[in-house]
Amino acid sequence: MPIEYASVRVVHKPWGVSDLRPWSSIDGTNDAVGELWFERADKSTSSPALLLKLLFTSEPLSIQVHPDDTFARAMGMSNGKSEAWYIISAKPDAKIGIGLKHQVTPQQLRASIRDGSIVDLVQWRPVAKGDAIFIPAGTIHALGAGIVLAEIQQHSDATFRLFDYGRGRELHEDDGVAVANTWPLRSGDSPVRFTSERTVLVASRHFVFEKLDLPAGSSWALLAERETWMLVLDGHAAIGLKAVSVGQAVFANGGRGSIEVGANGLTALVAYPAAAPVASLLQTLGEPSAGLFPRAAVPELTGLSEVRS
């Protein structure tokens, strides 16, 4: 199975940062960098189902909402946008906004967009390193300052801004009100320890998002029968014939590849389109790892982890 290095698209944002180390050597001093998009290097290939990103915030992002598949297709788009975040680092006072404090009518939501009071309507909460958050399409959300995170999302850039802290960019009142859920977001499922090496952060109808913790010097087989993205958070490894380290991402699809873990171990995020964790994704090349769940119990995790948008 060929393993591809992901190419990186740099996205400049007014709320971005100048120093992206250790994730990238790109200098954002003259034009702040807000996002790094990991993409397939060969642009002639079919568009992936998922988009993997790193986000860096020095200021709050806009309060925004994304359409679901039904609304997006009615607008001529291929799909909507559900997403998930993994917090890599966060300053002590960092916070995110997810959903609303209480239910409102569409008319009340529209009024809050017009007068800016939507900032007080959003449910804000603190975040810390290691938090995982699922944002189903239709959920009003925002990121505060002082956060570095990895995001996996449906491959779409459909974003409707509802408040932008006076930056002068266009707001999307009509579309935002049409697609937004005007009630609090129910509590999401907690991460599930799938095996001793795999933690399922989010399992939704559109994708599974996992964290891998592989011990130093170990050898593994990666069975990526479907589109699979991997982003290195710590350590290094040889994946197929590709040497990867912190901040690098690879893409695999169709077949079997090897992972040879370096002397410092490997911590990585993995994402693939599925509604439940794929049990065969990672296999040890030494003694089998029983993990915390016997093989027969794997299907039962579908109900535990699945979050529908």
Question: For position 62, what pLDDT does the model report?
Answer: 98
* Same-domain check for residues 46 and 152: yes
Residue 185 lies in a domain: no
d(CA 208, CA 275): 7
Domain boundary among 179, 205, 233: 179
State yes or no: cis peptide before 60, omega within 30 of 0: no
* Same-domain check for residues 86 and 228: no
The residues with which 306 forms a beta bridge, in sequence order, are: 203
Question: For position 290, what pLDDT does the model report?
Answer: 39
Q: Which helix (H) or strand (E) holds 193?
A: strand 192-193
Number of domains making up the chain: 2
Question: For position 44, what pLDDT does the model report?
Answer: 86
* Same-domain check for residues 109 and 169: yes
Q: Are 191 and 201 in contact (CB under 8 A)?
A: yes
Domain boundary among 144, 179, 214: 179
* Same-domain check for residues 214 and 280: yes
Question: For position 1, what pLDDT does the model report?
Answer: 62
Question: For position 136, what pLDDT does the model report?
Answer: 97
Residue 186 lies in a domain: no
Catalytic status, residue 125 = no
CATH number at residue 223: 2.60.120.10
* Same-domain check for residues 157 and 236: no
d(CA 83, CA 207): 9
Domain limits for position 199: 192-307
**Could you say which residues of the chain have pLDDT below 50?**
287-309
* Same-domain check for residues 22 and 149: yes
* Same-domain check for residues 138 and 49: yes
Residue 32 lies in a domain: yes
Residue 290 lies in a domain: yes
Burial of 203 (0-12, 13-18, 19+ CB in 10 A): buried
* Same-domain check for residues 14 and 151: yes
Contacts 24+ apart (CB under 8 A), 126-131: 126/93, 126/94, 126/95, 127/87, 127/90, 127/94, 127/95, 127/96, 128/87, 128/90, 128/94, 129/87, 129/88, 129/89, 129/90, 130/86, 130/87, 131/85, 131/86, 131/87, 131/90
Residue 72 lies in a domain: yes
* Same-domain check for residues 163 and 201: no
Give the active site residue among 114, 161, 193, 198.
161
Q: What does the DSSP 8-state code read for residue 185?
A: P
* Same-domain check for residues 206 and 269: yes
Residue 166 lies in a domain: yes
* Same-domain check for residues 14 and 110: yes
* Same-domain check for residues 17 and 63: yes
- Tell me the residue type at 286: G
Domain boundary among 136, 155, 179: 179
Residue 187 lies in a domain: no
Residue 184 lies in a domain: no
Question: For position 244, what pLDDT does the model report?
Answer: 97
Tokens representing residue 287 in the block:
């003694």
Question: For position 286, what pLDDT does the model report?
Answer: 63
